């Protein structure tokens, strides 16, 4: 069957979509990103670590909805908690008691958290964190890392359509891991810097993932404290996958604010920001709200998700499955004379072919895996869930065997 036939319903739907939705499918789930005509466009059904596209093709999923599915799709306990809350109250004129329960739970779970606020998307939190830092310090400038993603707001989207120079004129960036560059920016803008925002490790798209070099977090923490800069952690992607106490706890440092989303409620829409006591008043001074931000159902789902992760040692299981996958893929790559590396934490792995600057090998590898029922992304880091079992990983490695063979046949050994 040709790829076109395999994805016929997907492509038909996309044709209809293109007439009524700009780009047909926009943002990070665009098929341009996963492989036009060689990857599915629309989903029909999900369960555990698997999903089925509209053409009935089945996949073991290594994207987990780009992160949210930490326990796997349609988790019965989380769904029951959500439904039970929905039967009582969901959206109303007031928050439900679940908002207080969840905030109390998070302040106990996360050592640096003295207070919590909720939103819906990760960017609700990263944007709010910038305002809090500016309100607290009375300063304008923000430091971030080159190539880091914090959402689509203009302040962190230099070069995107519709973003003007003034939107980013107070945001300055440096190379991940380079404390010397960070300190040079501090020297240059001393007395003007409100906050510095970071992901816990570097996970840019179209690139290997980079863990923090030794001493990096100690240096950042020390400098921010000395200079009165609010240290913001964007834990939207990694939060609750590496460590339930926060990815900062995993790396051994304390931010002043931390932003969560993705894995917090196993797919129900919720984000949260936690902060230290000294920022409580500044947080309260920034007007902050949204039509759906007090929705009780997602908060009940979050409480259930975090309790299940804790009860079932979910984080440990995810790490073990990730380690199995990494070992299996790297070994299988070598068997086919491909120099592949799986970078990043085991729970959020990403495979790259050495020297594959155009990502042609990665694209072919992903599309050959997709044909055989494994959803790997060629350009974006992957995610493991607690619903991935050893047998799923073994099946994946067997399929990777076939996909690597096609890459070798097409592009040869590496290096040439």
**Would you say 236 or 272 has its CB closer to ligand PMP?**
236
CB of 209 vs ligand PMP, minimal distance in Å: 12
121 binds ligand PMP (CB under 6 A): yes
Q: CB-wise, 54 or 259, nearer to ligand PMP?
A: 259
- Which of 53, 55, 234, 356: binder of ligand PMP (CB under 6 A)? 234
CA 325 to CA 404: how far, in whole Å?
15
Q: What values do phi and psi take at 163, rounded to 5?
A: -90, 130
Q: Alpha-carbon distance 148 to 347, whole Å?
A: 19
Q: Counting contacts by CB under 6 A, is residue 55 touching ligand PMP?
A: no
Name the minimum Å distance from CB 264 to ligand PMP: 11
Mutual orientation of helices 97-109 and 296-311 as an angle, nearest 10°? 30
Which 193-212 positions form the footprint of ligand PMP (CB under 6 A)?
A: 199
Considering only residues 122, 275, 297, 344, which one is a binding residue for ligand PMP as defined by CB under 6 A? 122
Rounded Cα distance, 375 and 64, in Å: 10
Q: Is 126 in the site for ligand PMP (CB under 6 A)?
A: yes
DSSP SS3 for 141: strand
Q: Given the complex with ligand PMP, which of 248 and 338 has the nearer CB atom?
A: 248
Instruction: Enter the tokens of residue 254.
Output: 């304390």
Provide, rounded to whole angstroms, the least separation between the CB of residue 192 and ligand PMP.
24
Residue 150 contacts ligand PMP per CB under 6 A: yes
Q: Tokens 């290997």 label which residue?
A: 208
The single residue listed with the structure tokens 């029909």 is 44
Minimal distance, residue 121 CB to ligand PMP, in Å:
3
Is residue 31 close enough to count as binding ligand PMP by CB under 6 A? Answer: no
> Minimal distance in Å, beta carbon 199 to ligand PMP?
5
Other CB atoms within 10 A of residue 335 CB? 12
Binding piece for ligand PMP, criterion CB under 6 A, among 90-98, 100-108, 116-124, 315-323 = 116-124
Residue nearest ligand PMP by beta-carbon distance: 122
- The stretch among 4-12, 52-60, 232-240, 334-342 that binds ligand PMP (CB under 6 A) is 232-240
Q: Does 380 sit near ligand PMP (CB under 6 A)? A: no
Assess 149 for contact with ligand PMP (CB under 6 A). yes
Closer residue to ligand PMP, CB minimum distance, 81 or 238 = 238
Min. distance of Cβ 261 from ligand PMP in angstroms? 5
- Cβ burial, residue 161 (10 Å; 0-12/13-18/19+): exposed
Which lies closer to ligand PMP via its Cβ, residue 205 or residue 285? 205
Q: Is the peptide bond before 385 cis (omega within 30 degrees of 0)?
A: no
Q: How far is the CB of 218 from ligand PMP (least distance, A)?
A: 22
Residue 65 or 386: which CB sits closer to ligand PMP? 65
Q: Which residues contact 149 (CB under 8 A, 6 or more apart)?
A: 156, 199, 204, 205
* Beta-sheet strands, E only, within 2-121: 43-47, 50-53, 58-61, 115-119
Cα dihedral 75, 77, 81, 84, rounded to 10, equals 100
Among 91, 153, 97, residue whose Cα is nearest residue 125: 153
Q: Cα–Cα distance between 389 and 303 in angstroms, integer?
A: 24
Specify the residue, 241 or 319, whose C-beta has the smaller distance to ligand PMP.
241
The rounded distance, in Å, linking the Cα atoms of 115 and 279 is 9
Q: Quick one: 67 or 333, whose CB is closer to ligand PMP? A: 67
Interaction of residue 236 with ligand PMP, rule CB under 6 A: yes
Q: Is 78 in the site for ligand PMP (CB under 6 A)?
A: no
64-88 CB burial, b ≥16 within 10 A, e <16: bbbbbbbbbbebebbbebbeebeee
Nearer to ligand PMP, 272 or 340 (CB): 272
Q: Does 34 bind ligand PMP (CB under 6 A)?
A: no
Terminal CA-to-CA distance of the chain, rounded, Å? 32
Cα separation of 277 and 199, whole Å? 22
| Total residues at interface with ligand PMP (CB under 6 A) | 12
344 binds ligand PMP (CB under 6 A): no
- Under rule CB under 6 A, residue 237 binds ligand PMP: yes
- Is residue 151 within 8 A of residue 121, CB to CB? The reply is yes
Q: Which of positions 250-289 make contact with ligand PMP (CB under 6 A)?
A: 261
Provide the binding-site residues for ligand PMP, judged by CB under 6 A: 121-123, 126, 149-151, 199, 234, 236-237, 261
């Amino acid at each position: 069957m040709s790829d076109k036939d395999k994805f016929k319903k997907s492509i038909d739907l996309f044709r209809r979509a293109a007439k009524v939705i700009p780009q047909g499918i926009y943002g990070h789930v665009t098929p341009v990103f996963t492989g036009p005509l060689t990857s599915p466009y629309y989903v029909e059904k999900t369960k555990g670590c698997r999903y089925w596209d509209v053409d009935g093709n089945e996949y073991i999923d290594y994207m987990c909805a780009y992160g949210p599915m930490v326990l796997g799709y349609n988790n019965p306990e989380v769904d029951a908690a959500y439904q039970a809350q929905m039967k009582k109250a969901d959206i109303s004129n007031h928050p439900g008691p679940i908002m207080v329960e969840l905030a109390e739970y998070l302040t106990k779970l996360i050592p640096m958290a003295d207070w919590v606020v909720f939103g819906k998307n990760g960017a609700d939190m990263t944007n709010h964190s910038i305002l809090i830092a500016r309100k607290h310090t009375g300063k304008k400038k923000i430091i971030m890392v080159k190539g880091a993603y914090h959402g689509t707001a203009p302040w962190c989207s230099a070069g995107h359509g519709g973003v003007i120079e003034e939107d980013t004129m107070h945001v300055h960036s440096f190379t991940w891991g380079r404390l010397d560059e960070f300190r040079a920016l501090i020297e240059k803008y001393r007395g003007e810097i409100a906050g510095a925002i970071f992901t816990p490790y570097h996970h840019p798209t179209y690139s290997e993932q980079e863990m923090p070099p030794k001493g990096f977090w100690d240096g950042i923490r020390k400098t921010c404290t000395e200079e009165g800069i609010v240290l913001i952690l964007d834990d939207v992607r990694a939060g609750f996958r590496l460590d339930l106490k926060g990815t900062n706890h995993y790396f051994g440092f304390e931010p002043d604010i931390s932003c969560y989303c993705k894995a917090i409620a196993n797919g129900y829409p919720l984000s949260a920001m936690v902060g230290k006591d000294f920022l409580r008043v500044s947080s309260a001074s920034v007007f902050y709200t949204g039509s759906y931000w007090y929705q009780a159902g997602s908060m009940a789902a979050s409480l259930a998700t975090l309790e299940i992760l804790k009860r079932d040692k979910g984080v440990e299981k995810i790490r073990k499955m990730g380690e199995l996958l990494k070992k299996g893929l790297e070994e299988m790559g070598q068997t086919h004379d491909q120099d592949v590396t799986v970078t990043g934490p085991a729970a959020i792995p990403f495979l790259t072919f050495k020297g594959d600057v155009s990502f042609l090998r990665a694209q072919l590898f992903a599309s050959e895996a997709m044909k055989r029922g494994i959803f790997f992304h060629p350009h974006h880091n992957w995610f493991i869930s607690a619903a991935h079992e050893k047998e799923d990983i073994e099946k994946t490695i067997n399929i990777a065997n076939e996909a690597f063979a096609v890459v070798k046949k097409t592009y040869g050994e590496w290096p040439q």
